[in-house]
Structure 1
């Protein structure tokens, strides 16, 4: 529970060892996400029990060395999951509450925590409260949930059929913004969070948290933590004063988009000074919270396309050796490709359907098998060094196309070398005595790394 002085409480102890496998459920299971011609939405009412397809991958998650399942939207919605129509009902395209409960129980049986995606900035146009607002006007009790433009409409003169001007999310007319100054919205969110925490989930990813006033979370989360003190909350924040947002909102963590940008863009552009700068910022954030780190998610181009296949291990090496609570986007460990485009359906390529069961060794290409092996190797390296979650990374040397990083806490340290050039390079080993992973060869106080190679070193 939040301290009496309003300070953010300490994270639950279990989070110190959490690493997530991030799934976009509707895409993963092959559910339709856009309406058929002439239909209002893709959701429909017929229940199709698809969540078992995610359950079938849980042993794969454990084999990766991960112990968290970060689920994208699973609640009833009209199309892509972020236009929610009922926070207390599982989307029928995925199944029903019993299916979700089985998934949660199966994950917990394997020691895997479950995080749900809370879309609490907005709801879909088909939400019953929006329909009531449109039918009954600004005088409707439902109006208490939304930011109705009272200067543009007079409840006394409104007539059925007249529009009700209401705020929307980032220009998307189908996503109606909630009024986060309203006690009714606060109650709605507290009810939704506690409903599913009561059923065993372990925490929440707060979608579009950057667009919600931090004071709203600061009112909601203490009420939720009062009943579920072991719940963990991470907010989607893509820009802004991250430490300030964390402090004011009392969330445990927020997404570290600056580091994501610093990793992939530095590698793609062969400008490793950009990565050095991002790591300096990362160290500043660590003074007040542990960021949620990633190199891929359901909203961005796949890492294999962002940096190229041969440099995927470089990106993963940084993710696994710098501080944070890391997540791995489902399929990245198999080297999947997908480019996000700014158009209708532009997310489809990064949210594909995956097989009903994980592929066996005989099903993998040599390239996919290599990415899977590297992912497992680096996650295992991270798993054996839980202190890395809060350790500070210093830049030992940077001169394009090579960077040497040292991440340390007290007497423990690992050194990460990335080389993007065509020829071999020799760089300082920074006190390391063995190669833990990668393609480097240790020679006394230096390490030789081949063209486009990488290495993680330790004592």
Structure 2
């Protein structure tokens, strides 16, 4: 039985929160303090998320861990620095009450050194019943931490102990964890950390398990390099992170070279696109990358960049604070600046970027063609890009410019004369096509046109 992609994802717009950072939790878990319900403050963010237009929340690691959440100590307990299981349960109920799906960050490739089965291995060594739960356990040499055995970590990070995902006991344990999360917290999906290096048989087993328990359950994997179809296919995951487009989005603006992002979009979603039927997870930044407001050479490019993000095929996402232009640069060995505490949501009433993103999200929700329409490239130059999204019932043309000057853009396309187009960003702007030609005039510096086909004369 093949896996069908959950129907809700075609209209999904994600808001991404890294909770340990946003709530200002202590950097280290002492594993003895009473739980502090810091995560309860996320309930206050729900009106902001909903007003922005997002209808799904990707919530970073929330379960008991050593430091940053990707070093799990207990999959069954919410991190005491964030609260209790009831804190997450209440948040989930509140999100669903407001029509917002909940997807949680899931770290099944590795665990922290305080994970109880690993502590058992430290205590009992070769006699531990958990010695086969981890990869590369070797009692003939010591670990870098002084353990009387060696084990594999996540690359060279030995505080992240690699789980043996080919061990049936480990598989059953992790599937039981997912069942518990479904039942206890009513989650709608998983974001799988470092999915690109996880055992594919395990991912297939996870897919079958989740599909059988909840048909509309969504699985998305973190994949930075490679053919996304290795992971996103009918037997495994529904989606992956779209790092190819992420890179093209910012560098095509920094280099004033729309040919880069145009090549990626055409390769992925064009007539012979390799990912035409996939809803990839698209983003401008996240908890692992420099903030988009900091990486752009010219901050004005943030507007056409987001216009592409919210009109290209796939599932768009906003990382908390980037909707009002938070800045942060990724450090060589420190990501904390990318995951800041936010004590108070700022007054967004006078923030142009916020209102522009809100407008783009509203247009996306209102126009099914932006959710499921095919992608066609119509025009590309260093400083202008024009593409369309089309279904049998509608057509939308997206034109962006990163020129310093006002420009006119002429587009040759298969269209009858007299077709009327209205700009969804500026409704007063209307143009009519001539035979096989569309003339888009007065595009302002770093400007955007989103043109909806209104009517057609015959």
2:227 to 229, 241, 250: 241
2:286 to 277, 297, 300: 297
Question: In 2, are the aligned partners of 1:116 and 1:204 still within 8 Å (CA)?
Answer: yes
State the Cα distance separating 1:117 from its structure 2 match.
Answer: 0.7
How many aligned residue pairs are there? Answer: 434
- Give yes or no for the alignment of 1:324 onto 2:314: yes
- Give yes or no for the alignment of 1:31 onto 2:25: yes
Aligned to 1:446: 439
Displacement over 4 Å in runs of 4+? 41-44, 429-432, 438-444
**406-415 or 61-70: bigger deviation:** 406-415
- Give yes or no for the alignment of 1:57 onto 2:45: yes
State the Cα distance separating 1:247 from its structure 2 match.
Answer: 2.6
- Give yes or no for the alignment of 1:264 onto 2:250: yes
Cα 1:48–1:285 change in 2 (3 A) is farther
State the Cα distance separating 1:304 from its structure 2 match.
Answer: 1.2
Separation in 1, partners of 2:373, 2:91:
33
The normalised TM-score by structure 2 is 0.89
Separation in 1, partners of 2:427, 2:255:
22
- Give yes or no for the alignment of 1:153 onto 2:140: yes
Question: Any idea what the Cα deviations from partners look like across 1:208-255, whole Å, max 9, x if unmatched?
Answer: 101102211112221232222221111111111211222375111111
Separation in 1, partners of 2:386, 2:353:
22
Cα 1:42–1:373 change in 2 (3 A) is farther
Question: Any idea what the Cα deviations from partners look like across 1:26-49, whole Å, max 9, x if unmatched?
Answer: 00111122x4xxxxx566532111
State the Cα distance separating 1:439 from its structure 2 match.
Answer: 11
1:16 to 3, 10, 23: 10
SS in 2 for 1:143: coil
2:177 to 188, 192, 195: 192
SS in 1 for 2:233: helix
Question: In 2, are the aligned partners of 1:218 and 1:248 still within 8 Å (CA)?
Answer: no
CA RMSD of aligned residues (A): 2.2
Q: Map of 1:152-231 to 2, 5 A cutoff?
A: 153=140, 163-199=148-184, 200-231=186-217
Question: In 2, are the aligned partners of 1:214 and 1:249 still within 8 Å (CA)?
Answer: no
Question: In 1, are the aligned partners of 2:153 and 2:160 still within 8 Å (CA)?
Answer: yes
State the Cα distance separating 1:281 from its structure 2 match.
Answer: 2.4
Aligned to 2:449: 455
Cα 1:403–1:311 change in 2 (3 A) is same
Question: In 1, are the aligned partners of 2:73 and 2:112 still within 8 Å (CA)?
Answer: yes
Aligned to 1:115: 103
**290-299 or 44-53: bigger deviation:** 44-53
- Give yes or no for the alignment of 1:95 onto 2:89: no
Question: In 2, are the aligned partners of 1:148 and 1:164 still within 8 Å (CA)?
Answer: no
Question: In 1, are the aligned partners of 2:4 and 2:234 still within 8 Å (CA)?
Answer: no
Question: In 1, are the aligned partners of 2:378 and 2:388 still within 8 Å (CA)?
Answer: yes
Cα 1:438–1:395 change in 2 (3 A) is farther
State the Cα distance separating 1:427 from its structure 2 match.
Answer: 0.4
| Consecutive unaligned residues in structure 1, runs of 5 or more | 36-40
Separation in 2, partners of 1:88, 1:387:
41
Separation in 2, partners of 1:165, 1:440:
68
State the Cα distance separating 1:410 from its structure 2 match.
Answer: 2.3
Question: In 1, are the aligned partners of 2:10 and 2:279 still within 8 Å (CA)?
Answer: no
**131-140 or 377-386: bigger deviation:** 131-140
2:357 to 366, 375, 384: 375
Separation in 2, partners of 1:440, 1:207:
45
Separation in 2, partners of 1:454, 1:229:
39
Separation in 2, partners of 1:264, 1:274:
10
Question: Any idea what the Cα deviations from partners look like across 1:64-118, whole Å, max 9, x if unmatched?
Answer: 1111111000000010110100011000000001110110001011011111111
**73-82 or 399-408: bigger deviation:** 399-408
Separation in 1, partners of 2:15, 2:364:
15
| Consecutive unaligned residues in structure 2, runs of 5 or more | 433-437, 454-458
Question: Any idea what the Cα deviations from partners look like across 1:294-323, whole Å, max 9, x if unmatched?
Answer: 112111111111224211111111111111
Cα 1:213–1:390 change in 2 (3 A) is farther
Aligned to 2:347: 360
- Give yes or no for the alignment of 1:69 onto 2:76: no
Separation in 1, partners of 2:30, 2:245:
35
Cα 1:389–1:44 change in 2 (3 A) is farther
State the Cα distance separating 1:14 from its structure 2 match.
Answer: 2.4
Q: Map of 1:303-318 to 2, 5 A cutoff?
A: 303-307=292-296, 308-318=298-308
Separation in 1, partners of 2:182, 2:375:
35
State the Cα distance separating 1:443 from its structure 2 match.
Answer: 5.2
